[in-house]
Amino acid sequence: MSVTAAAGFEASGVVAGLKSSGAPDVALVVNRGRSTAAAAVFTSNRAKANPVLWSQQVIADGRVDAVVLNSGGANCFTGAFGFQTTHSTAETVAAALGVSATDVLVCSTGLIGVGDQTFRDKVLSGSTAAADALSVDGGLDAATAIMTTDTKPKQAVVSGDGWVVGGMAKGAGMLAPGLATMLVVLTTDADVDASGLDSALREATRVTFDRLDSDGCMSTNDTVVLLASAESGVAPPAGDFAAAVTALCADLAEQLQADAEGASHDIRIEIVGAASDDDAVEVGRSIARNNLFKAAVFGNDPNWGRVLAAIGTTSAEFDPYDVDVTINGVRVCHAGAPDRPSDDVDLTPRAVHVLVDLKTGPVEATILTNDLTHDYVHENSAYSS
């Protein structure tokens, strides 16, 4: 299960010294296929890191030969020097591979404000080393090198009819809609042009990564890129390809949720009976961002009143006294009033399912989140120390 599962791709992950732990911290994914079609989506945060600013220009023509990624420093709010570091990184990779720097996507993750000469030197030397280490078996190394506070690498593969989609992701904190704090590289050997890739990727991220809301905090570096080599020689129907990309993104999004910093519960908030998609998503996100509700789940307290209170802050169409709330299979609220006793709800398992029926229409949506724990507060209070 790796970013090199699709034919035509090589990857690597090396130690450049960016992390004090000595763990791998520079990764490279290269498309060696007959096609270099690509698509990408980025953070919607107005405060964008230098690699995002660079990569938005690179992807404009729908072609990408390589993606270089570093952990150990976000290269964000590092001024003109930081943007030049990104440009130099692309040039270093391009020289090693014999391609154009304007076809090299650059991604960074780590602490904001890190980007001095030492950082640049390590990223550039690591990029050269990563190019030398490329292998069709290098997917796991690459997935490991992009980790920051992640506890495990995240990889997934979905097989089509004679073609494959594979990918890797990183992310554990600052997970909120707008792509969450993630770097994701997806690859396929299907024969799909840049327009088809863009359509499939945007639909997939809309219902997966953009519906992962761990802590309501949006990052500056989020990037999700999809590369196609066409090495399978198969041009799948657009619907089949989009479904595979969505399934792959859903798998990776759930892995990100499961690795959220300090979380002890994975919460799936399912909204049904909504009048519109916007209503369903708004209600789900409101619950996912409600710290009182998330703290209650951490304490194994099925406090459904906090769910209704969160819903009430939205502009969605619903009658507060006609809403049902079910937690882990127990309907604790019916028509805005108590139903079965809260003591009937078992919140000791890690998986928590919250079902909210708005009873205003046929639309459904699911938002993924997690509980608010002591460990999350501690880890993020000491992140830069």
Active site residue 181: yes
The secondary structure of the chain, three-state, reads CCCCCCCCEEEEEECCCCCCCCCCCEEEEEECCCCCEEEEEECCCCCCCHHHHHHHHHHHHCECCEEEEECCECCCCCHHHHHHHHHHHHHHHHHHHCCCHHHEEEEEECCCCCCCHHHHHHHHHHHHHHHHCCECCCHHHHHHHCCCCCCCCEEEEEECCCCEEEEEEECCCCCCCCCCCCEEEEEECCCCCHHHHHHHHHHHHHHCHHHECCCCCCCCCCEEEEEECCCCCCCCCHHHHHHHHHHHHHHHHHHHHHCCCCCCCEEEEEEEEECCHHHHHHHHHHHHCCHHHHHHHHCCCCCHHHHHHHHCCCCCCCCHHHCEEEECCEEEEECCEECCCHHHCCCCCCEEEEEEECCCCCEEEEEEEECCCHHHHHHHHCCCC
Of 43, 85, 92, 181, the active-site residue reads: 181
Question: Which residues are catalytic, by number?
Answer: 181
